[in-house]
Structure 1
Amino acid sequence: MKRLPIHLMFGAATLCCAAVAGYNAVRLLHVAGANREIAAISTQPPSQWSKTAANQQDPAVRLAQAVALARAGQHAEAGKLYYDLGRLAQSSETGRIALYDLANMYLREAAGDDAQGPVRSPPMLESAKARYREVLRLDPGDWDARYNLERALRLAPEAQDTADDEKDIKEQHNINVRGAAPEELP
């Protein structure tokens, strides 16, 4: 009778270990499948992607699709995927990476091939700035986003505060003093 509780505890511990091992095996299979899809996406054109990759709900695979589309020059489709993934930014690292990549794509489109010349698309540049700021709100320590925001601000500086302009405004008051004619006071 003294052995029964020990055997039951050993059996329960064995079941717990088996459950953890089973869960990790399923996760490993899922990750291996996602890695196969990502490898296929990075080596094949979008027309040859498998139907499972097109319908994939895994954020990492969708991010790989967006990166491949952006490299292929299909910015509208890539932007849609980045934007959808960016909505997950509050809860996942993949969402923050998608926001950062979306901002980089906007910055490349706005600045053109050489980031030294005039800005080709100011609205795209403003969108890039907004996305970099959103990334920095989520992760203030992201130095890559800080650097790229600074780069975007150098391409198109933002207007300074109007506090300096308010100091230049003269205020005129009508002051009536007995026995004096009304005139402008300094």
Structure 2
Amino acid sequence: MKRLPIHLMFGAATLCCAGVAGYYAVRLQHIGQSNREVAAIGTQPRAQWSKSELESNDPAVRLAQAVALARAGQHAEAGKLYYDLSRAASSSEAGRLALYDLANMYLREAAGDDAQGPVRSPPMLETAKARYREVLRVDAGNWDARYNLERALRLAPEAQDTADDTKDVKEQHNINVRGAAPEELP
């Protein structure tokens, strides 16, 4: 009689372990399928993507689709996928990556190929800045987004408030110099 409770506890623990192992086996199979779809998207043109790849709800597969479209120069379709993914899975890693990639795509379109000359599209650059700020609101430790926001700000600095400028000028005029009357200062 003393062995029965021990055997029951061992049986329950075995069933729990078997359930966890089964869950991870199914999850591993799903991840393997997603990896195969992502690899196929990266190596094939869009016309050859399978129906399962086109209709996938897996965020990693949709992100790979958006990256492939952006590389192919289909920015409108890639932007839509990035935007949808960033809204649907905003708290996930794929959503944050989609938002960052969307901002990068806008920055590349606005700055052009050389990124040294004049900005080709100021509204696109402002959109990129807004997306980088959104990335930083979600993930403040994203140093790549910080760097790219700084780069976008260097391409097109934002106008500062004029009230602050006049305040600074007034402070400069209120400087007292020993041995000089205030009227003598410029």
TM-score between both structures, scaled by the size of structure 2:
0.87
The residue that corresponds to 1:32 in the other structure is: 32
* CA-CA distance at 1:33 after TM superposition: 0.1
For each residue in 1:54-94, what CA deviation from the matched residue of structure 2 results, as whole angstroms up to 9, or x when unmatched? 00000000000000000000000000000011114542011
* CA-CA distance at 1:35 after TM superposition: 0.2
Separation in 1 of the partners of 2:88 and 2:52?
A: 21
- Which residues in structure 2 correspond to 1:76-155 (within 5 Å)? 76-88=76-88, 90-155=90-155
The residue that corresponds to 2:70 in the other structure is: 70
Q: Does 1:7 find its partner at 2:7?
A: yes
Separation in 1 of the partners of 2:50 and 2:85?
A: 20
* CA-CA distance at 1:141 after TM superposition: 1.1
Separation in 2 of the partners of 1:158 and 1:133?
A: 14
Aligned-CA RMSD value:
1.3
The residue that corresponds to 1:176 in the other structure is: none
- Structure 2: which 5+ runs fail to align? 169-186
| Structure of larger gyration radius | 1
For each residue in 1:97-149, what CA deviation from the matched residue of structure 2 results, as whole angstroms up to 9, or x when unmatched? 10000000000000011100111111110000000000111111111000000
- The SS at the match of 1:132 is helix
Moved over 3 A (4+): 164-168
The residue that corresponds to 2:45 in the other structure is: 45
Q: Partner amino acid for 2:128?
A: A
Separation in 1 of the partners of 2:88 and 2:102?
A: 13
Structure with the largest fraction of helix: 2
Separation in 2 of the partners of 1:162 and 1:11?
A: 75
Separation in 1 of the partners of 2:140 and 2:89?
A: 14
Aligned residues: 168
